[in-house]
Amino acid sequence: MEFVAILMGSKSDYPVMEECINVLKKFDVPYEIVISSAHRSPNRTKEYVKNAEEKGAKVFIAAAGMAAHLAGAVASMTAKPVIGVPLKGGVLDGLDSLLSTVQMPSGMPVATLALGKTGAVNSAYLAMQILALSNTELGEKLKEDRVMKAKNVELDSSEIEVIL
């Protein structure tokens, strides 16, 4: 079975990453989520990535804060697409995790998204867009979602707009 594999560096990351799994649930996309750290449990991370790939993971999402090497570490272990979600926290409030996640050396990409909740939500959408390359039904659902979003903009505007 194809699924999205989500790793996060700590239990403290879960409240933000719940935003990601809520989106995947809304679209009925199968996922796994585990806590595994690039620094605290490197062996567990390596084992998880290997097993997940064997079981059918098509895309990985890795979320971490501070010296956030998790996405980069996952990218070193698989040739599947890796999406990185830098998380806020610590005295630098996320700038550290953003730079740690985004600044990968050439040939080892991590698709790094926005900090925090926005990145968590977008990680689910980007993972689904990748799956939709070979899943027409999911692709149609994503198109319908875009139509709804455009309608909502019009609805929101209609409540407050002033046009002369």
Instruction: Considering only the stretches 18-26, 61-69, 104-112, 113-121, report the one whose residues sit in contact with ligand RP5 under the rule CB under 6 A.
Output: 61-69
Tell me if residue 36 falls in helix, strand or coil: coil
| The amino acid at 76 | S
Q: Say if residues 79 and 112 touch (Cβ distance below 8 Å).
A: no
Rounded Cα distance between 63 and 68, Å, is 8
Residues 64-83 that bind ligand RP5 (CB under 6 A): 64-66
Helix (H) or strand (E) holding 121: helix 116-132
Closer residue to ligand RP5 (CB): 35 or 138: 35
22 binds ligand RP5 per the rule CB under 6 A: no
Radius of gyration over alpha carbons of the chain, in Å?
A: 17
Measured from the CB of residue 69, what is the shortest distance to ligand RP5 in angstroms?
8
Measured from the CB of residue 119, what is the shortest distance to ligand RP5 in angstroms?
13
44 is in an annotated binding site: no
Query: Using CB under 6 A as the criterion, which residues of the chain lie in contact with ligand RP5 when the complex forms?
Result: 9-10, 12-13, 37, 64-66, 87, 89
